[in-house]
Structure 1
Amino acid sequence: MSTDTAVLPPMTPAAPDPARPRDRLRALGVDTAYALAGFPVATVAFVVVVTGLSLGAGLLVVWVGLAVLAGTLLAARGLAGVERAWLPAVLGTPLPRPAYRPAEGGAVRRLLTPVRDPQTWLDALHALVRFPLAVLAFSVTVSWWAVALGGLSYGLWDWALPRDEGNQDLLELVGLESSPFRRILLYTVIGALFALLLPLVVRAVALLQAQLGRVLLTGRAATQAELGRLAGGRDAAVAAEAVALRRLERDIHDGPQQHLVRLGMDLSRARRQLDRDPDAARATLGEAADLAREALEELRALSRGIAPPVLADRGLAAALAAVAARSPVPVELAVDLPRERLAPVVENTAYFVVSEALANVAKHSGATACQVVVVAAGPALRVTVEDDGPGGAVPVPGHGLAGLADRLRAVDGVLTVDSPAGGPTRLVAELPCGS
C-alpha cells in the first residue's frame, strides 16, 4: 500500500568510471604482493611454530617446555599480527582485532598466559595450516606472471634461443612444423590468454589464504563482537522497556488514577447527599460520569500507545495515518510500503518511533508543521520525522530520544538526530525489515 508517493525522475545511464581499470590494477598488485610476500612470512611462521611446539612438548617433563611453548605462542601471535595487517587490503573490508587474554597474577602465571589463551593457539594453528596454501599461492602467482609476461614479450627474445637438434619448441613437440612466425604467434596468444586470466587466478589463490586467515585469526573476535552486539541490543531493549514502564506508570498516575480517585470521592459524596439533597446528588453523579468518561478516554489513549488495534488489524500505514490525525501539530504523511505486511516487530517499532516522535514534537518542539516519511527501501525501513521547530533537540539518557535509540538498537536499528540551533529538527530511524 502506498500514500502520497512522490514520482522520481527517470535515471540516466551512469557514465563509465575511469577509475575502474586503475582499481583492477591496484587489486592485482595487492593480491600479487600478498602472495609473494606472504610466502617467506608463512615459511618463517611454519618453521618457528613446528620447531617450538616440538621442542616445548619434548621438554615438558622438566617444566622448561612450558616456557618454550609460551615463547613459541608469542612468536606465533606476532607473525599472525603481520597477517592481520594484510587481510583488510586483500579482503577489502575492515576486520575486528582479537582480544587476547591479559597477563595477570604472579610471575609464573603471567609467563603462562599465552598457553591459556585460545586465540594464541589459533594463531599457531594458522601458521601450520597456512604454509601449504602459501606455497601454492606463491607457485601459481609466479608461474602465471612468468607465462603471461614471457608469452607477450616472446617476439623480443625468440632470436636469442638456441635452435640445435636437442632443443625443441612446443610446435615441434606436438609434431607440427615450426617457424619464427608460428612460434611468436603461438606464444603471444598463450601469453595473452594467461594475462587475461591473471587477475582471476591471482585473486583466487590470494582469497584462499585470506579467508583462512579471517576464519582463524579474526573469527573468534567476530564472534565476540557479535555476542557483544547482541548483549548491547538486549541491554538496550531492557532499558527501553524500563523507560516505557516508568512513563506508563507516570501517565497512569497523573491521568486515569487521579480521575478515578476523584471519581471515588464524588460517588461517596453523592451517596451522602442522596437523602438530604437529591439535586446536589444528581449534579455530583453527573460530574462523576464525566470523570469516568475522561478516565476511559485516557486509558484508551494509553492502550493505543502500547498496542493499537488498528496496527494489528489494518497494518502500519493505517496506524500511522491514525496517529498523525490525532497529532495537535499538523502532519504531512507519506508512506511507501510493500504490499505484503512487514514483520510484527518491525511494524510495532516503526509505529512506536513515529508516535513518540510526534508526541515530542507536540510537547517540546514549538513547531507549527511536521512531515513524516516512511519508506521500505531494500532490506531496511527508513522512518523520517521532520518539524519546523527551533531545533536544539539532544538525546538525554532516560528521556524520549534516548528511549527511541534504545528501542531501535534492540532490533538492530539506528537513530540519527539532526537538530541544529534554529531548526529544523530531523529524526531518521533505520531498521532492518527483511524484505
Structure 2
Amino acid sequence: MTTAAAPAAPSPTTSARPRVASPLRVAGAIAQMAALAVVGPALFTVLITLLATGIGLIPIFGIGLLLVLAGVYVLYAMSWLEHARVEGLYDFGLALPLPRRSGRPGFGGFLRTVWQQFIDGATWRGIASLAVSTILGFVVLALISGFASGVVLAFAPLFASTDEISLFGTGLSIPVGWGVAAGIVQVLIGAAGLVGLGILHGILARAILVPSQEAQLAEAARASSAQRDGAVRAADVERTRIERDLHDGVQPRLVSVGMTLGLAQQKIESDPDAAKELISEAHTSTKAAITELRQLARGIHASVLDDRGLDAALSALVARSHVPVQVDVRLDGRCSRTAEAAVYFAIAEALTNAAKHARAGSARVVVRLRDGNTLWARVEDDGIGGATIVPGGGLDGIMNRVLAAGGQARLDSPAGGPTSLEVSVPCAS
C-alpha cells in the first residue's frame, strides 16, 4: 500500500487570545472537570492496563503486540477527544491531531507507523492536559461538596434538633447560632475555589496544548518552505509532462503533416488525384493535432473551471472519461482558483490512472466543502491497485501541486485494489 501526504498550512496566529475567564467558559470548565473526575480514572486505567499487559506479553508469541497496538490508538483517541473538548470550550484554534503514517510499505512500515504514533508530541500533550484536568476534577468535586454543605449549614438553624452542628469535613461542631455565618463563609470559599479552578483550567490547557508564538512562527515558516518546494516541484513535473506530450505526440504529427503536404505539392501537377488524397490525409492529421493540442491545453488549464466552477468542470471531465464515474459534488460556493485547480487536476489524474493503469470498471468521485473552509475530495476505483508515486510522474505532480496549495493528499492503493485518493485543500489557498 502506498500512502503519501502533504501537510496543511497552519492557521495564522492571531494577536487576540480567547478569554478563558468568561462566565460561560468557567462554568463549562467546572462541569467538564467534574465529569472527568468520574470518567478520567477509568480511561487511564484502561490505557495503562493495555500498554503494561501488552508489553509484558510481547515475548509470548507476540500476543502482546495486539494489546500494545490497541493501547497506542486508545492513547491517540483520548488525546483527540481532549483536543476537541478544549477547542470546543475555549476556541483556541487548535488543530485536531491526525493519525501518523510512516509512508513505508509492509510490516516494517506498519511498525514504524505505530511507533511514530506512540511518540507523537501532540498526542502526549493531549494526554497531559487530560491528566491535569482529571486531577483538578477531584478538587472540583470536593469544592462542590463543600459548597453544598455550606448551603445546608446556612439553613441549619431552621431544622437543627440539637444545640450544635458539625462543620463539613472537619469533625468539629459549632453552636447552631453560628451556622448561618459559617455556612455563608463555606459557600463563598467553595464558589471562589470553583471559579479559580475554572480559570486555572483554561490557563493550563492553553499552556499545554497551544504552541508558543515562536513555535507557531517556526511551523509557519516550515510550511511556507514546503509549499514553495512543492510549487517548484509541481511546475517542474508539469513542464516535463508538457515537453514529453509535445515531443511524443503533437510534434511528430505536425512533422508528418509537413511531409505529406510536401509530397502533395510535388504531385499536384503530375498526379492531381494522388495530391488530393495527400492533402485530405494532411487535413485529417491537422485536425488530430488540434485535438491533441486542445487536450494538452486542458491539462494545463481548464477554462470551464474559471467560468462555471468545480462542479461543471468535473461534469465535463467525467463525460470524457473512459471509465463509468459516479459523481457526488455538494458545494455551497466557490473556493479560490488555486484550491479548485489543485482538486480538479488531482481528480483528473486519478481518473486517468484508473482507466490507463488500474483497468478499473467503475469509479466514484465525492467532493465536499468541510467546515466552510476546506475543499475535500475523494476518488475511488475498483481497479487492480498497486499505484505508486514515481518521481516526475503524474501522481508526483499532483502531490506537489496539493502541497503548494497548502493542502494534504493521501493515496491508498494496495495490490489487488481498490485505489483511493483523498485530497484536502484550504478553500482560501
| Structure 2 length-normalised TM | 0.60
SS at match of 1:421: coil
**1:341 Cα deviation (Å)?**
2.0
1:332 aligns with 2:321: no
Unaligned runs of 5+ in 2: 1-30, 41-82, 88-93, 96-139, 151-165
Distance 1:214 1:345, change over 3 A: closer
CA contact (8 A) 2:167 2:173 kept: no
Map of 2:335 onto structure 1: 342
**1:253 Cα deviation (Å)?**
1.3
CA contact (8 A) 2:365 2:379 kept: yes
Q: Which among 363, 366, 375 is matched to residue 373 of structure 1?
A: 366
Distance 1:241 1:145, change over 3 A: same
Larger-gyration structure (1/2): 1
Q: Which among 232, 239, 243 is matched to residue 233 of structure 2?
A: 239
CA distance in 1, matches of 2:325, 2:200: 57
1:343 maps to amino acid: S
Map of 1:197 onto structure 2: 195
CA distance in 2, matches of 1:336, 1:313: 18
- Within 5 A, what are the aligned runs for 1:292-331? 292-331=286-325
2:270 maps to amino acid: R
Map of 2:263 onto structure 1: 269
Distance 1:224 1:310, change over 3 A: same
Higher relative contact order (CA 8 A, sep 6+): 2
SS at match of 1:192: helix
Distance 1:345 1:204, change over 3 A: closer
SS at match of 2:304: helix
Distance 1:346 1:204, change over 3 A: closer
Map of 1:23 onto structure 2: 36
Distance 1:372 1:204, change over 3 A: closer
- Within 5 A, what are the aligned runs for 1:342-361? 342-361=335-354
2:357 maps to amino acid: H
SS at match of 1:398: coil
CA contact (8 A) 1:380 1:431 kept: yes
1:420 aligns with 2:420: no
1:290 aligns with 2:284: yes
**1:285 Cα deviation (Å)?**
0.4
CA contact (8 A) 2:339 2:428 kept: no
Deviates more, 1:183-192 or 1:409-418: 183-192
Distance 1:405 1:192, change over 3 A: same
Distance 1:261 1:24, change over 3 A: farther
1:155 aligns with 2:167: yes
SS at match of 1:342: coil
Map of 1:407 onto structure 2: 401
SS at match of 1:179: helix
Deviates more, 1:373-382 or 1:218-227: 218-227
1:366 maps to amino acid: R
**1:22 Cα deviation (Å)?**
4.1
Across the two proteins, how many residue pairs are aligned to each other?
A: 290
CA distance in 2, matches of 1:385, 1:207: 38
Map of 2:129 onto structure 1: none
**1:19 Cα deviation (Å)?**
8.3
Q: Which among 175, 184, 187 is matched to residue 186 of structure 1?
A: 184
**1:329 Cα deviation (Å)?**
1.1
Deviates more, 1:224-233 or 1:237-246: 224-233
CA contact (8 A) 1:392 1:419 kept: yes
Deviations 1:295-335 (A, max 9, x none): 01111111111112211221111110011110111111111
Distance 1:204 1:383, change over 3 A: closer
Distance 1:198 1:145, change over 3 A: farther
Distance 1:400 1:190, change over 3 A: same
CA distance in 1, matches of 2:32, 2:186: 28
1:235 maps to amino acid: D
2:180 maps to amino acid: R
CA distance in 2, matches of 1:236, 1:201: 43
CA contact (8 A) 1:315 1:341 kept: yes
SS at match of 1:376: strand
Distance 1:159 1:183, change over 3 A: farther
1:249 maps to amino acid: E
1:226 aligns with 2:182: no
Deviations 1:366-420 (A, max 9, x none): 1111111111122211111111111111222222222211111111111111112
CA contact (8 A) 1:147 1:194 kept: no
Deviations 1:273-313 (A, max 9, x none): 11111111111100000011000111111111111221122
Greater than 6 Å deviation, 4+ residue runs: 24-27, 91-94, 144-151
Q: Which among 272, 275, 288 is matched to residue 278 of structure 1?
A: 272
Distance 1:298 1:145, change over 3 A: closer
2:361 maps to amino acid: T
CA distance in 2, matches of 1:150, 1:384: 54
SS at match of 2:269: helix
SS at match of 2:410: strand
Distance 1:193 1:329, change over 3 A: same
CA distance in 2, matches of 1:19, 1:196: 12
CA distance in 2, matches of 1:238, 1:256: 26
SS at match of 2:416: coil
CA distance in 2, matches of 1:387, 1:150: 62
